[in-house]
């Protein structure tokens, strides 16, 4: 049913005449996850329980399945409707994705028995042929109402990609239907998908797909659903929390927004030593002053599952919306993140920790699903272990990766990545090819995907987990004035009302201070670079050589200053390996396709990372070389170089 939105709405309108939904109380339970990012294995974590710091593992897909089955059993016993939804970005984030390129995701997500999933931006990380194969192979509908794939050769035939899906309920039993007329007197829930309207600026490979405005499409779809007779409408989105809240306040008729993209673990987790975020299941008034929309999201990396119960009035408005996110914990605790046998807590303390968890509303202990655990271990894990390769260094203490600095304590990993890139591009071997000395490097915090845990550091930890995106390195010059503009747009874009914190820049050989003057806005108070061992102010009129990934050098992900600086001409050089040899690809200029995707125009031979013999993992290679040559005992740098003075 992959049809342009207008065709889908016409079908709704034609079916509407015969519909008549019953006037009866209705309660719906939604279980939801988002931004799982191929974290099929559980995550190591630190918790505070009984005022004691302990370490365990949380989440992973076998644990998600176990908990989903518990919720299904509870719903069946109560004869209550239940839907299990995924808020997008199932792709990327672990070595499993690098090795299997979506096939394992399709396999395991189908085994979770989802009822629907919305497309995230990382689902466009490969190419549309492989995305189409994923969409067609999963056993649940993939949603995107504001996406038109009718002109894309690969996605236009993906009939499992649809604007919305309808489910009719008879107690706990549900049936997917084509129209309300097929439901008889059973209540019908519509789940519509909404994806980023600026997807071509964020995602790597959108092909000929067109993306419509989120708010306009949402209202248009809701109106058509209401005209058909649908009373209960869920928006499954991958927009981020701030855009979800704006959607709730700008669109009439959405009952619940189940979101993703901003990795927001909604709720107060300070009782576990974690952060306190915005409330879970917060309700927002619609513009008509009559309806309310409930907004939920469930964190990241398959660590938690959200569960929200929504009760409706007889005329179909939200009367009550309550629930929580629940962290899914293992049943064994340790005194150290390395979780060796000598660190395992004594049995008496294990029991105390388990008892503490039973008294908390936002965490539970649950075993992994045995069958799914065995399937991963037999089908996928052996290849993963083999792919991790040789040891390149050792990590004595955990290196945390957080996106936005809290009390000016930012990521410990991103500065190391930036330092590795500056080191690598200025090695004699690379300089002999480029003929350039680079002044500083930049890294978008979202390009770094994981913490680095203590113990051995292998090549695979770097190129399969920390830097999985397969990026060429780029050298390009900017003026000091342009640098100030870049910092202004990226920091404002990371802390603002429609924030996507992944665009925040860290650097090496560069440091800056940003002062917030109003919510989500501010100015660059200081910007310096390291020259001959001394920090100096950046001259607005001078030009500086910058090293960064080709993705961000093209202006993607809101780094628009780079695009504007290279529209007419550029001195940019892209670096990748051809048959194992580092090769320079000079860039002539940047442009945009009709769909708005940024295009790189090369002077001579184009860099095609999909071509046989071409390897575009220079960013990961730089980090590996840096650790081996300079930091075989890998510890955090003394400072991150980023200082945010928040209100």
CA distance 261 to 243: 10
* pLDDT over 60 (residue 112): yes
Residues 434-444 have a mean pLDDT of 97
67-80 per-position pLDDT tens digit? 999 999 999 999 99
Give the confidence band of 195 by pLDDT, cuts at 50, 70, 90.
very high
Residues whose CB falls within 8 Å of the CB of residue 290, separated by 6 or more in sequence, listed in order: 252, 317
Instruction: Give the pLDDT of residue 315.
Output: 87
Instruction: Give the pLDDT of residue 23.
Output: 61
Instruction: Give the pLDDT of residue 333.
Output: 95
* pLDDT over 50 (residue 485): yes
Cβ atoms of residues 221 and 165 within 8 Å: no
CA distance 466 to 450: 5
Instruction: Give the pLDDT of residue 499.
Output: 64
* pLDDT over 80 (residue 139): yes
Burial state string for 412-445 with b = 16 or more CB within 10 A and e = fewer than 16: bbbbbbbbbbbbbbbeeebeeebebebbbbbbbb
Give the confidence band of 403 by pLDDT, cuts at 50, 70, 90.
confident
* pLDDT over 90 (residue 25): no
* Helix H or strand E encompassing 527: strand 521-531
Give the confidence band of 397 by pLDDT, cuts at 50, 70, 90.
confident
What is the DSSP track for 93-131? SSHHHHHHTTHHHHHHHHHTT-SEEEPPGGGGSS-HHHH
What does pTM read for this prediction? 0.80
Q: Which domains does the chain have, with CATH numbers?
A: 5-378 (3.60.21.10), 389-645 (3.90.780.10)
Give the confidence band of 21 by pLDDT, cuts at 50, 70, 90.
low
282, 640, 349, 390: which is closest to 357 by C-alpha? 349
User: How far, in Å, are 21, 87, 199, 410 from residue 250 at the CA level?
Assistant: 26, 20, 21, 34
Residues 219-231 have a mean pLDDT of 96
453-473 per-position pLDDT tens digit? 888 899 999 999 999 988 899
* pLDDT over 70 (residue 408): no
pLDDT > 90 in the chain, percent: 84
Cβ atoms of residues 339 and 55 within 8 Å: yes
Residue 25: strand, helix, or coil: coil
> Given the DSSP bridges, would you call strands 614-615 and 232-237 parallel, antiparallel or unpaired?
unpaired
Give the confidence band of 203 by pLDDT, cuts at 50, 70, 90.
confident
* pLDDT over 70 (residue 365): yes
CA distance 455 to 157: 47
Instruction: Give the pLDDT of residue 497.
Output: 52
Give the confidence band of 11 by pLDDT, cuts at 50, 70, 90.
very low
Instruction: Give the pLDDT of residue 240.
Output: 95
* pLDDT over 60 (residue 17): no
What is the DSSP track for 260-314? -SS--B-SB-GGGTS-B-SPTTEEEE-TTSS-EEEEE-B-STT-EEEEEEEEE-T
Q: How much is the mean pLDDT over the chain?
A: 93
* pLDDT over 60 (residue 479): yes
* pLDDT over 80 (residue 152): yes
Instruction: Give the pLDDT of residue 6.
Output: 45
Instruction: Give the pLDDT of residue 496.
Output: 66
CA distance 102 to 169: 32
């Amino acid at each position: 049913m992959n049809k342009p939105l207008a065709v889908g709405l016409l079908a709704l309108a034609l079916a509407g005449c015969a519909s008549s939904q019953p006037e009866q109380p209705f309660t719906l339970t939604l279980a939801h996850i988002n931004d799982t990012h191929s974290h099929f294995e559980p995550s190591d974590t630190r918790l505070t329980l009984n005022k004691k710091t302990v370490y365990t593992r949380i989440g992973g897909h076998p644990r998600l399945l176990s908990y989903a089955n518990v919720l299904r059993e509870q719903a069946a016993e109560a004869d209550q409707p239940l839907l299990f939804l995924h808020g997008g970005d199932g792709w990327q984030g672990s070595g499993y994705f690098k090795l299997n390129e979506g096939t394992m995701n399709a396999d395991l997500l189908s085994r979770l028995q989802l009822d629907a999933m919305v497309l995230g931006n990382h689902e466009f990380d490969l190419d549309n042929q492989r995305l189409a194969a994923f969409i067609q192979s999963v056993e649940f509908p993939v949603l995107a109402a504001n996406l038109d794939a009718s002109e894309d050769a690969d996605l236009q035939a993906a009939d499992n990609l649809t604007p919305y899906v309808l489910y009719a309920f008879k107690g706990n039993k549900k049936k997917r239907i084509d129209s309300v007329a097929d439901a008889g007197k059973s209540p019908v829930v519509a789940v519509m998908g909404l994806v980023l309207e600026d997807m071509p600026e964020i995602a790597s490979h959108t092909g000929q797909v067109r993306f419509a405005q989120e708010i306009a499409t949402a209202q248009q779809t809701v109106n058509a659903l209401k005209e058909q007779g649908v009373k209960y409408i869920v928006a499954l989105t991958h927009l981020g929390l701030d855009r979800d809240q704006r959607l709730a306040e700008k669109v009439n008729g959405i009952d619940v927004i189940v979101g993703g993209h901003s990795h927001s673990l909604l709720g107060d987790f300070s009782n576990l030593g974690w952060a306190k975020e915005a409330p879970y299941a917060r309700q927002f008034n619609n513009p008509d002053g009559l309806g309310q929309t409930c907004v939920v999201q469930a964190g990241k990396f398959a660590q938690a599952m959200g569960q929200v119960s929504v009760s409706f009035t007889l005329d179909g408005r939200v009367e009550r919306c309550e629930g929580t996110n629940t962290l899914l914990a293992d049943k064994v605790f340790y005194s150290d993140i390395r979780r060796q046998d000598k660190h395992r807590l004594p049995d008496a303390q294990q029991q105390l920790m388990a008892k503490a968890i039973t008294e908390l509303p936002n965490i539970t202990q649950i075993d992994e699903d045995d069958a799914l655990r065995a399937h991963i271990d037999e089908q996928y894990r052996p290849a993963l272990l083999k792919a991790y390769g040789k040891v390149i260094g050792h990590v004595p203490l955990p290196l945390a990766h957080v996106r936005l600095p809290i009390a000016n304590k930012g990521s410990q990993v991103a500065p190391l990545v930036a330092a590795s890139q500056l080191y690598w591009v200025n090695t004699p071997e690379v300089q002999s090819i480029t003929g350039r000395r680079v002044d500083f490097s930049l890294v978008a915090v979202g390009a770094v995907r994981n913490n680095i845990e203590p113990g051995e550091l292998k090549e695979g930890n770097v190129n399969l987990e920390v830097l999985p995106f397969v990026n060429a390195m780029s050298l390009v010059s900017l003026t000091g004035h342009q640098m100030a503009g870049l910092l202004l747009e990226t920091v404002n874009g990371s802390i603002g009302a429609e924030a996507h914190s992944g665009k925040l820049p860290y650097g090496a050989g560069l440091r800056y201070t940003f002062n917030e003057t109003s919510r989500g806005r501010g100015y660059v108070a200081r910007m310096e670079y390291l020259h001959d061992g001394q920090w100096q102010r950046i001259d607005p009129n001078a030009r500086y050589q910058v090293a960064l990934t080709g993705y961000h050098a093209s202006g993607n992900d809101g780094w628009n200053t780079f695009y504007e600086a290279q529209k007419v001409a550029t001195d940019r050089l892209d670096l990748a390996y051809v048959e194992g040899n580092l090769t320079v690809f000079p860039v002539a200029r940047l442009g945009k396709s009709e769909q708005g995707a940024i295009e790189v125009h090369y002077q001579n031979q184009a860099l095609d990372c999909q071509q046989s013999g071409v390897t575009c993992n220079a960013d990961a290679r730089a980090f590996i070389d840096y650790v081996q040559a300079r930091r075989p005992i890998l510890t955090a740098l003394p400072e991150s170089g980023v200082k945010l003075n928040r209100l």
